[in-house]
């Protein structure tokens, strides 16, 4: 498998292969854009997939994330027929013991159809459910479609980076079918699902209130009177400034570490004194004269 490029590293003339931009991450966002839930996880997968080296190392986990989100979306679009009828997705045997199920007056509990009209209506619903189940079996599932797009994305060749390449424009085209001048569909969209997350991920704001607060706080910490602070100390101070709720816990850890170091020092001192005492002892040997 060849290396997968960065979403912004596609030349403007290579729009067919440029789909590899944020492809693997985009797949996860496809489900996120449609389902809402799981969007943050999908966006995280897109962030990992946007870097070529990271993508090569995590393509399997990104695929798994894409498939999990797609399965969540698929499982969340169940038919409302199940509210009123029981086991309607099973094929109708047509035997003598086949029971027709209809809802009762309040629409909450199902019961066996008794009148001829109810049996006819129930059979129609059963036949429609069986046809719908058969159609679903013939069509690829959402998971299969996402898996196919991710596989196609990972097989795309690398391309030469281009500074002026319009990534958003490409994903807009990759997620829509190609039309001729008369408005007729010429070819289907190349990555209809992956393009959803690509557009969501690439449209994330480059700044936020939190990042602006951090920059302002850094200005208070590293000023004209503290220019001699080493970078590690600045990072520690900024961490404590942004996470004051962790200070009590850090103090406990620091006190515990101090006690541990003190105990170790006492142990070393005792060991040294014992060794010194043993070294100073004189061994007297009595030799009996004949």
pLDDT tens-digit profile of 38-94?
444 444 544 444 444 544 555 566 666 666 655 555 554 434 433 333 343 344 444
Element (H, E) at 6: none
Asked if pLDDT for residue 129 goes beyond 80, the answer is no
Helix, strand, or coil here: 38?
coil
pLDDT tens-digit profile of 195-204?
887 777 777 6
Read off the pTM.
0.32
In this prediction, residue 47 carries a pLDDT of 47
Report whether 45 contacts 36 (CB < 8 A): no
Asked if pLDDT for residue 222 goes beyond 80, the answer is yes
In this prediction, residue 6 carries a pLDDT of 45
- Distance (Å, rounded) from C-alpha 217 to C-alpha 230? 17
In this prediction, residue 120 carries a pLDDT of 74
Q: Which residue has the higher pLDDT, 24 or 41?
A: 41
DSSP symbol at 87: S
The number of CA neighbours under 13 Å toward the Cβ of 199 is 19
The number of CA neighbours under 13 Å toward the Cβ of 64 is 4
Give the range among 37-51, 108-122, 177-191 with minimum mean pLDDT. 37-51
Q: Which residue has the higher pLDDT, 154 or 158?
A: 154
Report whether 8 contacts 167 (CB < 8 A): yes
In this prediction, residue 136 carries a pLDDT of 64
In this prediction, residue 159 carries a pLDDT of 67
Instruction: Tell me the domain boundaries of the chain.
Output: 18-77+142-202, 80-138, 209-277
pLDDT averaged over the chain?
66
């Amino acid at each position: 498998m060849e290396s997968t490029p960065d979403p912004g590293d596609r030349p403007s003339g290579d729009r067919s292969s440029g789909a590899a931009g944020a492809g693997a991450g985009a797949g996860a966002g496809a489900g996120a854009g449609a389902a809402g839930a799981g969007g943050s996880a999908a966006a995280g997968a897109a962030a990992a997939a946007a870097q070529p080296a990271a993508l090569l190392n995590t393509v399997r986990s990104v695929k798994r994330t894409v498939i999990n989100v797609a399965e969540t979306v698929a499982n969340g679009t169940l038919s409302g027929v199940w509210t009123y009828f029981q086991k309607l997705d099973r094929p109708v045997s047509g035997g003598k013991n086949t029971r027709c199920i209809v809802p009762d007056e309040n629409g909450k509990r199902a019961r066996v159809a008794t009148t001829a009209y109810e049996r006819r209506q129930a059979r129609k619903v059963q036949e429609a459910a069986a046809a719908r189940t058969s159609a679903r079996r013939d069509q690829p599932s959402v998971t299969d479609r996402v898996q196919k797009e991710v596989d196609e994305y990972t097989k795309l060749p690398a391309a030469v980076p281009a500074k002026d390449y319009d990534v958003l424009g490409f994903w807009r085209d990759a997620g829509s079918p190609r039309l001729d001048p008369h408005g007729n569909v010429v070819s289907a969209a190349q990555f209809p699902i992956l393009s959803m997350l690509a557009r969501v991920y690439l449209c994330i704001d480059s700044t936020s209130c939190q990042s602006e607060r951090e920059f302002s706080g850094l200005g208070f910490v590293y000023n004209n009177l503290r220019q001699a602070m080493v970078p590690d100390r600045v990072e520690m101070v900024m961490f404590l400034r942004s996470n004051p709720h962790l200070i009590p816990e850090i103090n406990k850890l620091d006190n515990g570490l101090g006690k541990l170091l003190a105990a170790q020092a006492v142990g070393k001192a005792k060991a040294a004194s014992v060794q010194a005492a043993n070294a100073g002892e004189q061994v007297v040997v009595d030799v009996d004269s004949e």
